[in-house]
Amino acid sequence: MNAPLPADVLSNPLLENWDTPFGLPPFAKFRAEHFVPAFQVALKAHRDEIDAIANNTEAPTFDNTVAAFDKSGRDYTRIEQVYYNLTASETSPALQEAERELATPLAAHGNAIYMHMGLFKRIDALHAKRATLGLTSEQLRLLERIHLDFVRAGAKLSGDAQKRYAEVTEKLAELTTQFSQNVLADEAEYQLPLKSEDDLAGLPEYLRASAKQAAAERGIADGYVITLSRSLVVPFLTYSTRRDLREVAFKAWITRGEGSNVPGKYDNRPLIAEIMKLRLEQAKLHGYASYADYALVDTMAGSKEAVAKLLNEVWVPAKARTEDERAALQALADAENAGRGIEQKVEPWDWRYYAEKVRQARYDLDDAQVKPYFSLDRMVEAVFDCANRLFGISFVARPDLKGYQADVKVYEMRNGKNEVAGLFLHDNFARPTKRGGAWMSSFRLQSRIEGDDSILPIIVNNNNFAKGAPGKATLLSFEDARTLFHEFGHGLHGLLSDVRYERLSGTQVLRDFVELPSQLFEHWLSEPEVLKRHARHVETGEPIPDELIAKIKAARRFNQGIDSVEYTSSALVDLAMHALTDMNGLDADAFEKAELKRIGMPEGVVMRHRLPHFRHLFAGSSYSSQYYVYLWAEVLDADGFDAFVEAGNVFDTGVAARLKEHIYSAGNTRDPAEAYQAFRGRAPTVTPMLKKKGLVEA
């Protein structure tokens, strides 16, 4: 990062003014080799701005210190947002090389900013007398959040402790980058070829088409491939009658990140031990006994004890339900194998296969029946329509605006006055250059830091759906459609943001509040009113039959035991590992096995995310000791949707207006507990969530 700048640095497209419509990044101009020199320039400019704020001879005020800090680093921020989105969604060997080169310098830049003693001294002085400054509630919230950001980043440490803290965070950046790249490589390089009709036995036509498309994308002209993309491997485990191939696929899926799929490469287990040791040191430098104690202070839960209490409220009934589900699966397997004289225990690679058979028997419901009514295009129309009916916004396709990859679609979001109020990018398909999972991100956050006019947000949703064959629609499972709605809920949280300061914008809320807008939006997918309008047969255009809606609703609680166990066990292992006070000799495999035994993991069930590929925990720190947040938010979303149920209309305008004002548009301008209470009129209760899961009687 200290090498001389290239002669053409001033023509670097990342540093030029982007005269594109709405400031959409000109993706076609960017190359991997642009990022290192662009960051060199932008980081220096940002540090110069910080020095200027810190060295201001005038006494610190909110405007010349706090607001100035929030506004600083414009070039750095816009380059950073492009960089992190591309490394996640459309990477390459050259970009990954740049990512490894930049990991430490970018972490060092964060340290230089948040350990800048001159700047922190001014912020600390304002914070000490904040009650006397006559600030608005939003200004006060910004001052408190920024002050806390500095404290949690080590600003109050001194001397050797602060130096060591910087070293720890920089090393963590390097290790978490490598962890993420290992998982991506392990997933991208693995493929299970299906070479014969026998290999394809049991697979519905849509899955065959997706496997053929996956093969074509990997240069296999005449064949079928199952990859480790969830949208391929999960339905394969559900429908394949080839038990031997199910076992192969399952073991590859759950061991990604262990280096077993590509021998000798991508083993994340040594990295986990290093990361955990450094995190504990980080927490102890702050004076906490464990990393969980440090991380959970700044959450709604507030402590590991509160998190454990919530998780155990679900864990105990979920385990009991799982044993009932296992018995049903084993009974079916026994009946199926009796005629062949085989005794066969249901193994983890059998669970989804037999669960689907039980579901079909109990509810006469088959994904092959459902999928033709859930084409991707129709479901995108559905999320847009629900947003319109709730919040008065509309989405207009802009095919002339190009994303960073050919399949990315760009839309204008227009407000009730038909004014463009944001851009939305939809990136829906799995590919080897994209990490797994689903997520929302931004290329620009909404704010008014440049004046009274709002800066338009540019928000992106990423999914990993198996792409339909050329000329064929992409069909979603009901769970895929739920994921689409979930991520769009996050997208709305960014798009509807209406705040002045960037630090408080959109999804920059406490981690166990950020999943509320996304999980709440999922509810509208299940509403008959929405399904009858948008779930239409891909070939005939006929609306989904009432009897199929009834079957989907009846099956909603099916397999909730194992689903809850898969998730909750991951959250419990996360919490337990980050609650350790001694990391010497930590072995990720041994710890995972011991902890699952301690909590009584039901036999044959596997964590949703095993530690070697648990990106939430080890590809960064955002969810470390906080994977519980989905369950915490589920309490809020189940309770929150009941406000619409109680109003008698799932699109009730009054409830929707409160929801927009206090949740979707408010960002981090107020304490989340206060925000929820302002929307709901009271604090949330856990009962609606337990009823929704069927873990207590409705």
CA-wise closest residue to 569 among 595, 532, 587: 595
Q: What is the spatial distance between Cα 381 and Cα 385, in angstroms, rounded to a whole number?
A: 6
Regarding pTM above 0.85, the answer is yes
Report which of 486, 478, 445 is spatially closest to residue 462, judged by C-alpha positions: 486
Residue 697: pLDDT band with limits 50, 70, 90: low
Residue 667: Cβ-neighbour burial (10 angstroms; 0-12, 13-18, 19+): buried
Asked if 175 contacts 268 with a C-beta cutoff of 8 angstroms, the reply is: no
For residue 2, pLDDT beyond 60: no
Could you give phi then psi for residue 514, rounded to 5 degrees?
Answer: -65, -25
Least confident of 55-64, 281-290, 358-367, 612-621: 358-367
Q: Read off the pLDDT of residues 330-355 as tens digits, 9 standing for 90 and up.
A: 999 999 888 787 888 999 999 999 99
Contact 201, 242 (CB under 8 A): yes
CA distance 186 to 261: 7
Beta strands in 216-337 (DSSP E): 224-226
The conformational region for residue 309 under phi > 0 = left, psi -120 to 50 = alpha, else beta, is alpha
Query: How far is it, in rounded angstroms, from Cα 695 to Cα 357?
Result: 22
Q: How far apart are CA 483 and CA 475, in angstroms?
A: 13
Residue 249 to residue 263: CA distance in whole angstroms: 16
- And the tokens for 163? 């130096």
Domains and CATH numbers, the chain: 9-156 (1.10.1370.40), 190-254 (no CATH), 270-342+557-698 (1.10.1370.10), 372-510+517-541 (1.10.1370.40)
Token duo for residue 359: 């579901």
- Give the residue-averaged pLDDT of 316-321: 92
Question: According to the model, what pLDDT value does residue 698 have?
Answer: 56
Cα–Cα distance between 578 and 297 in angstroms, integer? 13
Per residue in 400-423, pLDDT (tens digit) is: 999 999 999 999 999 999 999 999
Contact by Cβ (8 Å): 169, 111: yes
**pLDDT at residue 6, as a whole number:** 53
- Please say whether the beta carbons of 113 and 140 come within 8 A: no
| Placement of tokens 């996360």 in the chain | 574
How many helices (H) and strands (E) the chain has is answered by: 27, 7
Catalytically active residues, by annotation: 487
Instruction: Give Cα 290 distance to the centre of its chain.
Output: 25
pLDDT at 7: 47
Structure tokens at 138: 């939003």
